[in-house]
Structure 1
């Protein structure tokens, strides 16, 4: 036990309409200075979070900026790994790493203060965590993003994008819409199945 893996996911492109376009978009994503900069910032934040609770010398980035493809988007993903300090458990690990830098930004504490000042309503479960703790000491969590909250007969979709100094507002908005597309499609499929 004691192995820690944190997977920063940041940097997004829509999926291509065919294999050739998909490959070209993946290359664009890997070469985009803004997306790379945002991703490296979050990897560094992840290394810092993991480093606070892991044994000295065990923290490493085992994968850096690998493309992962999903139904409607592709992402840059990295793995930050370490070995948990002997006097800590999975609860201490979650406390050190939550909320994830992907949804808070950096520096984490100040970014969370700014979010508190700017966002008029609570996020609800969005940007929280869902997962499990086992009696054997294992833990696996994921960030609650791209969510559908159904309340009073209405479906509320939540999705977002990371904003950094050189973000383009139109591109960030489009990224959010690309991410939400899978959710709207899920609702459409559910409605079709009910008829």
Structure 2
């Protein structure tokens, strides 16, 4: 989940910190322990939680923002992530569109400080991101909203499939590890197409 609004409650889930999934429960447990003890991954996650709290502060009532979940390991098909949940009470002057605008682009895909990070991305990235990093979801007639971030997806055009993946870069990043993270994230989609990364 990128951002959700139910009645007057707003939720966002910063996700940062990744390991590949293990071959069995025991290996998953070891990888999760490694993830939770990795100072670089924890620092990146805390930075993104702070950014999410800041983004939520623009659209929620003062004093209502809280962390209902912090740095929990969640398992997905090919990777595990550190996940937190930030929630708050919607400022009555703000609607679902304001809330989505305050969250996008997600800190996990932009970095911090957000505006400067986006300027650097614009300068350095050769390819436009397109749908990657955007939002997919719904706005309900009841005013509710639920959006997910478009990162584990492919675009198929003219019989070609396009897959994008990324990794968070911070001062302590090891380029080879970040590259491996992008490969692990893309594996599920490549497997669907009958391919393999190795």
TM-score (norm 1): 0.95
* RMSD (Å), alpha carbons: 1.0
Question: Unaligned stretches of 5+ in structure 1?
Answer: 190-195
Aligned-partner SS, 2:194: helix
Higher relative contact order (CA 8 A, sep 6+): 2
Structure-to-structure mapping, 1:1-195, within 5 angstroms:
1-188=7-194
More helix by share: 1
Distance 1:120 1:185 in 2: 26
- Deviation digits for residues 102-155 of structure 1 (CA, Å, limit 9, x no counterpart): 110000000000000011221111111111101111011011102211122221
Mean CA deviation greater in 106-115 or 117-126: 117-126
- Deviation digits for residues 27-74 of structure 1 (CA, Å, limit 9, x no counterpart): 000110000000000000000000111001100111100011011100
Distance 1:101 1:21 in 2: 30
Runs of 4+ in 1 over 2 A off after TM superposition: none
Aligned length: 189
Question: Unaligned stretches of 5+ in structure 2?
Answer: 1-6
Distance 1:156 1:55 in 2: 41
TM-score (norm 2): 0.93
